């Protein structure tokens, strides 16, 4: 049994947003119009959240951090789903979404303390260039369903199958989500939290570690490292 | 007094079934237009997606859920009030119960449709039955609303049977329909006994179901982690609010139909006086719950809760919040405690204020909590679009239309219960009174 988690080193992160772009392309996320974006309907599984502002006027800088589904070990969203369209996978701890099952009641969005779930408000026309390079491993969502980061579960699936074919275990090199793969600063690492020798387990024991809203008891599996506290 | 005279006396109750004025058709056409416009807007939403609404991330619930809670709340008017009045043998209930029960029936249908309107994929509604998770509060809701709808329609239908039999005996329009619905009721002793027994079983059953309905609706909110929602008081708070708005809606309906169908002789000042007192009690109860809810939040002073609290008290939703307090507490207090102002028009004003106020309360429960989530990036803003507003208007129009249609098929005031009251009430009440009072011999001794 594996328990996949992520560590994001905010001291390494340079806010280049390549993880956001990679995620969007990898997971066939819908590109929304400017009007929709202004209404707060941006479709991003990974986004740069403004946590606070530092400095005094006029030298004010937003303090941002990459925010994604924290893959809670005790997720509030799955508890309220009326049709089990979102659930925690026992074999790897990933909180998955079943798009053809979702009825679009958005109850899970309301109960997510981290606001990481997004909804397909419209099915908007996508640029032809974008449609041409859709990732065939990920379903294109219809309108009216909720979606969120799945830790690139399709990549894990492939890695598992390859490893099984070669009669070995999944190694850290086999499974890397898109955001971690493209990060130029190597700020994002993903791996098995149950394995004490894994990279994430090592990083997790760093004194700079914190998680978001730990007090809620959702036990997030995405950890942040920062010299300053959040 | 012989039978034909009694029939003549209640003729005014039969009249709306057979005669419709010009105003009826004009109003009906106007409301139908509003309803059809709403349906058209919904079809549009169905084609283009929920983007047609003003909802976004993080305000993922809006007018539809507000309407859902509001209309289901109004449904408490009915069955609950009528059941409690029947159970407590309040003689003045006789002309009121029918209207109250009709409100429940119509409004439950309207309210029950709203979550489906709110769904992103209404085509997958059957998933709830095929693979529903009973752990989800939405499933509890579905269960209790279905139970309440079943119980309250039967509870509406049973006391209707003797009246349908009266209509059947009169012949004329819809004779065949009445014949089927009357189930061969002829008013024999045995039939009467069975009917009364069935009604008394149902009225006891309906009360816990009705209370469960709004408790469970509040649990949709309070089972989440959202600040402002996660509160133990929500169950009773919502039930009180529901009964409160229900009484207000019932009074509006009564006053309007009293005027339109000339029921002045049946719905007298005293009925409104008693209901007004009930409304005042509920208003005070509502204020008590609201006060308790917000005072606890304020003294707890948790940052996430305080963001919602301040948003309601001084922030973006302050106008709605204070308007709600005025509508739900101050206006009813002024009109219902002052004898001079507790007239029928005064009660109408108070009832309309309460209805608006309770709608605002639902708005204030749903939106500010979503707009100020725990992790304040992003915070949200919610502006309803024409689609949502026209669907709300359509729901209101459907309510009035439903009532108008009902009044053309069945009497709005229970005729047989009025007759029964005339024939037996005095005897029954004096018998009951004699039971309450100390025996005469005893009185003599004291004197």
The stretch B280-291 carries a mean pLDDT of 94
**Interface touch A80/B115, C-beta < 8 Å:** no
Return the H-helix or E-strand segment holding B86: helix B63-87
The parent domain of residue A53 ranges over: 4-225
CATH number at residue B302: 1.20.1630.10
For the purposes of burial, counting CB atoms within 10 Å of the CB of B322, is it exposed (0-12), middle (13-18) or buried (19 or more)?
A: middle
pLDDT confidence of residue A176: 93
Three-state SS for B268-312 is: CHHHHHHHHHHHHHHHHHHHHHHHHHHHHHHHHCCHHHHHHHHHH
Q: Residue A146 — left, alpha, or beta (φ > 0 → left; ψ -120 to 50 → alpha)?
A: beta
Residue among B57, B118, B223 minimizing CB distance to A40: B57
**Interface touch A101/B124, C-beta < 8 Å:** yes
Task: Kindly state whether residue B438 falls inside one of the protein's structural domains.
Answer: no
The span from the CA of B258 to the CA of B242, in Å, is 24
Q: Which of these, B211, B366, B391, lies nearest to A110 by C-alpha position? A: B366
The span from the CA of B100 to the CA of B249, in Å, is 9
Q: Which of these, B66, B140, B73, B68, lies nearest to B104 by C-alpha position? A: B73
Least confident piece of the model among A147-151, B126-130, B136-140, B167-171: B167-171
How sure is the predictor about B5, in pLDDT bands with cuts at 50, 70 and 90? very low
Least confident piece of the model among A206-220, B53-67, B68-82, B424-438: B424-438
What are B168-198's pLDDT values in tens digits?
A: 888 777 888 888 888 888 878 888 899 989 9
Task: Kindly state whether residue B261 falls inside one of the protein's structural domains.
Answer: yes
The stretch B10-15 carries a mean pLDDT of 78
Residue among B51, B375, B380 minimizing CB distance to A113: B375
pLDDT confidence of residue B440: 62
pLDDT confidence of residue B265: 83
pLDDT confidence of residue A221: 93
Residues 6+ apart with CB under 8 A from B85: B92, B93, B96, B97
Contact between residue B148 and residue B210 where contact means Cβ atoms under 8 Å apart: yes
Radius of gyration of chain B (CA): 24
Q: Is the pLDDT of residue B447 over 50?
A: no
Write down the mean pLDDT value for chain B: 88
pLDDT confidence of residue B7: 53
3-state secondary structure of A64: strand
pLDDT confidence of residue B358: 94
The span from the CA of A63 to the CA of A52, in Å, is 5
**Interface touch B119/A144, C-beta < 8 Å:** yes
**Interface touch A119/B120, C-beta < 8 Å:** yes
Count of domains forming chain A: 1
The span from the CA of B210 to the CA of B208, in Å, is 5
Task: Kindly state whether residue B434 falls inside one of the protein's structural domains.
Answer: no
Q: Is the pLDDT of residue B1 over 50?
A: no
Q: Is the pLDDT of residue B446 over 50?
A: no
Nearest CA in chain A to B383: A39
**Interface touch B136/A107, C-beta < 8 Å:** yes
For the purposes of burial, counting CB atoms within 10 Å of the CB of B330, is it exposed (0-12), middle (13-18) or buried (19 or more)?
A: middle
What are B201-213's pLDDT values in tens digits?
A: 988 888 899 899 9
CATH number at residue A175: 3.30.70.20
The parent domain of residue B115 ranges over: 19-413
Task: Kindly state whether residue B431 falls inside one of the protein's structural domains.
Answer: no
Local mean pLDDT, 10-residue blocks, chain A (230 residues): 90 91 93 89 90 86 89 93 93 92 92 91 91 91 93 93 92 91 93 90 90 89 81
Instruction: Find residue A225's DSSP bridge partners.
Output: A9, A209
Helix ranges restricted to H, chain A: 18-26, 34-38, 76-80, 107-111, 128-132, 153-165, 178-182, 199-204
A-B interface: how many C-beta pairs under 8 angstroms?
137
Q: Which of A111, A114, A146, A212 best probes binding to B when mutated, by most B CB atoms within 10 angstroms?
A: A111
pLDDT confidence of residue B339: 85
Q: Which of these, A111, A15, A147, A84, lies nearest to B221 by C-alpha position? A: A111
Tokens of A93: 């701890």
Q: Which of these, B411, B436, B426, lies nearest to B159 by C-alpha position? A: B411
Task: Kindly state whether residue B429 falls inside one of the protein's structural domains.
Answer: no
pLDDT confidence of residue B91: 82
Say what angle helices B344-371 and B269-300 make with each other, to 10 degrees. Answer: 20
Tokens of B388: 């949502």
Tokens of B253: 């309906």
Kindly list the distances between the CA atom of residue A39 and the CA atoms of A100, B37, B38, B231, B379, in Å, as whole numbers in the listed order.
26, 25, 23, 30, 12
**Percent of chain B residues topping a pLDDT of 90:** 48
Task: Give the CA angle between residues A28, A70, A226 to the nearest 5°.
Answer: 115
**Percent of chain B residues topping a pLDDT of 70:** 96
Chain mean position to CA B294 = 26
Its ipTM equals 0.90
Q: Which of these, A31, A23, A147, lies nearest to B121 by C-alpha position? A: A147
Q: Report chain A residues whose CB lies below 8 A from the CB of B61.
A: 106, 110
Count of domains forming chain B: 1
Residue among A39, A80, A142 minimizing CB distance to B137: A80
Chain mean position to CA B396 = 13
Task: Kindly state whether residue B10 falls inside one of the protein's structural domains.
Answer: no
Distance from CA of B139 to the nearest CA of A (A): 6
Contact between residue A105 and residue B120 where contact means Cβ atoms under 8 Å apart: yes
Q: Is the pLDDT of residue B351 over 90?
A: yes
Which residues in A have their CB inside 8 Å of a CB on B? 36, 39-42, 49-51, 67, 76, 79-84, 101-107, 109-111, 113-115, 117-123, 142-146, 212-213, 216
Least confident piece of the model among B8-22, B24-38, B91-105, B141-155: B8-22
The stretch B243-264 carries a mean pLDDT of 90
pLDDT confidence of residue A230: 47
Write down the mean pLDDT value for chain A: 91
Q: Report chain B residues whose CB lies below 8 A from the CB of A141.
A: none
Task: Kindly state whether residue B81 falls inside one of the protein's structural domains.
Answer: yes
Task: Kindly state whether residue B11 falls inside one of the protein's structural domains.
Answer: no
The dihedrals phi and psi of A74, each to the nearest 5 degrees, come to -125, 75
pLDDT confidence of residue B3: 45
Task: Kindly state whether residue A65 falls inside one of the protein's structural domains.
Answer: yes
pLDDT confidence of residue B6: 46
């Amino acid at each position: 049994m594996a328990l996949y988690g992520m560590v994001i080193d905010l001291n390494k992160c340079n806010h280049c947003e390549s993880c956001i772009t990679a995620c969007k392309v990898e997971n066939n996320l819908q590109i929304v119009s400017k009007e929709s974006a202004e209404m707060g309907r941006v479709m991003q599984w990974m986004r740069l959240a403004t946590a606070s502002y530092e400095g005094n006027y006029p030298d004010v800088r937003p303090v941002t951090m990459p925010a994604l589904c924290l893959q809670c070990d005790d997720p509030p969203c799955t508890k309220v789903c009326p049709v089990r369209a979102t659930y925690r996978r026992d074999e790897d701890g990933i909180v998955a979404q079943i798009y053809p099952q979702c009825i679009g009641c958005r109850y899970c969005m309301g109960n997510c303390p981290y606001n990481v779930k997004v909804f397909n408000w419209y099915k908007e026309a996508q640029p032809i260039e974008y449609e041409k390079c859709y990732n065939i491993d990920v379903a294109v969502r219809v309108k009216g369903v909720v979606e969120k980061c799945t830790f690139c579960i399709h990549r894990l699936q492939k890695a598992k199958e390859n490893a099984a074919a070669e009669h070995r275990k999944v190694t850290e090199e086999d499974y890397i989500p898109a955001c971690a793969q493209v990060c130029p600063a190597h700020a994002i690492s993903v791996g098995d939290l149950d394995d004490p020798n894994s990279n994430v387990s090592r990083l997790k024991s760093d004194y700079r570690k914190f998680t978001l809203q730990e007090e809620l008891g959702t036990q997030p599996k995405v950890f942040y490292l920062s010299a300053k506290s959040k | 007094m012989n039978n034909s005279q009694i029939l003549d006396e209640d003729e005014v109750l039969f009249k709306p079934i057979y005669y419709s004025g010009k105003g009826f058709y004009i109003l009906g056409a106007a409301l139908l237009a509003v309803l059809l416009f709403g349906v058209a807007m919904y079809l549009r939403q169905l084609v283009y997606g929920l983007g047609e609404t003003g909802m976004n991330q993080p305000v993922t619930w809006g007018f539809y859920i507000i309407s859902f809670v509001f209309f289901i709340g109004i449904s408490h008017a009915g069955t609950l009030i009528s059941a409690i009045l029947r159970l407590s043998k309040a003689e003045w209930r006789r002309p009121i119960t029918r209207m109250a029960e009709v409100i429940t029936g119509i409004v439950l249908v309207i309210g029950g449709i709203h979550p489906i309107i709110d769904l992103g994929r209404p085509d997958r509604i059957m998933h709830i039955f095929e693979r529903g998770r009973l752990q989800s509060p939405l499933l509890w809701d579905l269960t209790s609303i279905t139970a309440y709808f079943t119980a309250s329609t039967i509870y509406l239908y049973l006391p209707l049977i003797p009246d349908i039999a009266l209509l059947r005996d009169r012949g004329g329009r819809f004779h065949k329909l009445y014949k089927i619905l009357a189930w061969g009721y002829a008013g024999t002793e045995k039939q009467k006994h069975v009917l009364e027994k069935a009604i008394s079983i149902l009225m006891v059953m309906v009360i816990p179901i009705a209370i469960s309905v709004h408790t469970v609706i509040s649990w949709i909110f309070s089972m989440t982690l959202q600040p402002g929602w996660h509160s133990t008081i929500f169950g009773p708070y919502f039930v009180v609010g529901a009964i409160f708005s229900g009484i207000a809606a019932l009074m509006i309906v009564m006053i309007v139909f009293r005027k339109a169908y000339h029921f002045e002789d049946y719905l007298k000042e005293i009925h409104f006086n008693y209901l007004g007192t009930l409304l005042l009690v509920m208003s005070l109860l509502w204020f008590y719950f609201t006060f308790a809810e917000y005072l606890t939040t304020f003294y707890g002073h948790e940052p996430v809760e305080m963001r919602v609290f301040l948003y309601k008290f001084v922030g973006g939703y302050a106008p709605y919040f204070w308007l709600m307090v005025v509508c739900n507490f101050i206006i009813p207090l002024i009109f219902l405690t002052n004898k001079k102002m507790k007239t029928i028009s005064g009660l109408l004003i108070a009832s309309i204020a309460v209805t608006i106020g309770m709608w605002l309360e639902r708005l204030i429960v749903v939106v500010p909590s979503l707009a100020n989530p725990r992790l304040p990036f992003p915070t949200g803003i919610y502006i309803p679009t024409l689609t949502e507003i026209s669907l709300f208007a359509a729901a209101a129009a459907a309510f009035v239309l439903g009532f108008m249609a009902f009044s053309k098929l069945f009497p709005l005031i229970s005729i047989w219960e009025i007759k029964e009251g005339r024939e037996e009430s005095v005897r029954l009440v004096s018998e009951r009174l004699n039971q309450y009072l100390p025996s005469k011999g005893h009185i003599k001794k004291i004197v």
